[in-house]
Structure 1
């Protein structure tokens, strides 16, 4: 009987700590929710070399609401249209925008055990993505969301590695 009291006392004292730790372990699907800003985007070749496809200082935003997502990434130095009208640009201005902007939205699912984020793309500034699913291997490191797509839009042999941080 005297042995049971100390063990019971230890369990009773440790219980709130154990429960508190369990309560703060947040499922990955919930960790996505919110607004994220782009830290970096790189296309990585099989030999390990990489490029910044949107140049240095690219800007981007990614939003998850629990079932839907929206994202856009833009080069930092996009040219202004001489006409001041987005519907009246030169071929060079349109080419720069096409190369320097990508935006898409849809729904998403998370396979937590595999750490796979699947983006079900409804609409995209790159129409070839519409109606397809894209898989991303993800991890949360500190306050960052890091994910990798198996291929980039520029070269199927390259992977696209993106790092996002929570917006403030």
Structure 2
């Protein structure tokens, strides 16, 4: 009897000391929900070379809700300040929104763009590889490289950190 009690106490102590063993791991669908701030973005060529088309100081944000809606934007820091129409963006920027689905088994994110700053992407979809090294870091990698006029096929890599609660 004493051995069983001792084992029960040790088991309980371990579950408090290492709560990840006592809790079920969150699904990717649960992990992705929230607001994410851009940590880094780069394009990788097929030979492994990394390129930063956005320049220093690039910022971005992505938001995913629990109902399957998302929005996403990335803007370079050194955009010229021009006296143009406020309805015509200036400089390097991309923004889009739509719906999303996560496949836990395949570790993929599939998005459908309702609208995008690039009109040819309206209504299109995309499936990318995703990873969560921690609950507060979200990595996004395009699995099907697409052509770049100067670099050849590239695969964008994006890393977000979870936004702090205000």
Report what 1:48 is aligned to.
Answer: 48
TM-score, normalised to structure 1, is 0.80
Q: Deviations over 1:52-82 (max 9, x none)?
A: 1211211000001111110000010111113
- Output aligned runs, 1:66-145, within 5 Å: 66=66, 67-83=68-84, 85-87=85-87, 97=91, 100-142=92-134, 143-145=136-138
Change over 3 Å in CA distance of 1:65–1:120 after alignment to 2: same
Report what 1:14 is aligned to.
Answer: 11
Change over 3 Å in CA distance of 1:32–1:153 after alignment to 2: farther
SS at match of 1:108: strand
Shift of residue 10, structure 1, vs aligned partner = 2.3
The 1-side partners of 2:120 and 2:78 are apart by: 25
The 2-side partners of 1:25 and 1:62 are apart by: 23
- Note if contact 1:120-1:134 (Cα within 8 Å) is conserved in structure 2: yes
Aligned length: 156
The 1-side partners of 2:11 and 2:105 are apart by: 28
The 2-side partners of 1:14 and 1:146 are apart by: 35
TM-score, normalised to structure 2, is 0.81
The 1-side partners of 2:76 and 2:52 are apart by: 10
User: If you compute each CA radius of gyration, which structure gives the higher value, 1 or 2?
Assistant: 1
Of residues 25-34 and 5-14 in structure 1, the stretch that sits farther from structure 2 once superposed is: 5-14
SS at match of 1:14: helix
Change over 3 Å in CA distance of 1:146–1:27 after alignment to 2: same
Report what 1:35 is aligned to.
Answer: 35
